[in-house]
Amino acid sequence: MITPSPPTTDVTDRPPVLRIEQLRFGWDSGPELLNIAQLELAAGQNMLVTGASGSGKSTLLNLIGGVLMPTHGEIEICRTQCAALGARRRDRFRAEHLGIVFQQFNLLPFLNVIDNVLLPLQFAPQRRERAGVTGSERHAQAQALLSALGLEAQHWTLPAHRLSVGQQQRAAVARALIGEPSLILADEPTSALDPVNRDRFIELLITQAAAAGSAVLLVSHDPSLAAHFERQLTLGEISRPAVAA
């Protein structure tokens, strides 16, 4: 179920970065897990997805990210249906358009922080160009993002496994934001933080995504984060299909 969106900015003239129509998904022969009738996210908008453990939040992100295919219905990112692309083009499309913050961050442990942040650009030429024409420009962009997210310079050249959990979260968000992808997907990125740091971190993420023009779909079991977001989707509350406001 979608709670009504507050009347913030008029987004009707912005193109949708995400459009979901009649999405249904169930694992194998099990019961239907997700049923979302309609959902649209405009460029630069942000939305919180909440729901109890097991309600399908991570499954939804994996469907949007093209890792899983819907049982029924359509998911479009920037007007492209990923399921209709071959595996190679789908991987390329994801790299260009999506910045993903995994629940466990998935940083490469022995690669330094800057190189972790620059990693998605290797597979996405347009995104790479937006991050900078030369290697040193892209390097400077990675540093600027890390700095804006509160990770100090002394950590930038450390291997990722030498960072604390909170520092890894910042590096993972910088990696998702670099090159201004259309949509950031973030799965419980604040699970390890205390409430004060959690609120600060969400605000940083939203501010930096807005500066990059990236829309944000953030998943959390914690509904108290809703105050930070323009839109909210709650999974698993009712048995009839969810409809976006």
Nearer of residues 68 and 210 to Mg ion, judged by Cβ: 68
Does 234 sit near ligand ATP (CB under 6 A)? no
Q: Is residue 169 part of the contact set for Mg ion (CB under 5 A)?
A: no
Contact flag: residue 45 with Mg ion (CB under 5 A): no
Structure tokens at 40: 């649209």
Query: How far, in Å, are 26, 86, 218, 222, 223 from residue 227 at the CA level?
Result: 31, 39, 13, 11, 9
Residue 53 in contact with ligand ATP, rule: CB under 6 A: yes
> Which are the contacts of 145, defined by CB distance < 8 A and separation ≥ 6?
117, 174, 177, 178, 208
Q: Per CB under 6 A, does 27 bind ligand ATP?
A: yes
Closest residue by beta carbon to Mg ion: 58
Q: How far is the CB of 196 from ligand ATP (least distance, A)?
A: 22
Residue 46, interface with Mg ion (CB under 5 A)?
Answer: no
β-pairing, 16-26 vs 98-101, is unpaired
CB nearer ligand ATP, residue 3 or residue 62: 62
Is 51 one of the binding residues for ligand ATP (CB under 6 A)?
Answer: yes
190 lies in the binding site for Mg ion (CB under 5 A) = no
* Residue 103 or 147 with smaller CB distance to ligand ATP: 103
Q: Is 58 in the site for Mg ion (CB under 5 A)?
A: yes
- The yes or no reply on residue 58 touching ligand ATP (CB under 6 A) is yes
For the chain, the farthest-separated pair of C-alpha atoms sits apart, in whole angstroms, at 52
* Residue 181 binds which of ligand ATP, Mg ion, none (CB < 5-8 A, kind-dependent): none
33 interface partner picked from ligand ATP, Mg ion, none, CB below 5 to 8 A per type: ligand ATP
Chain residues in the site for ligand ATP (CB under 6 A): 27, 33, 51, 53-59, 221
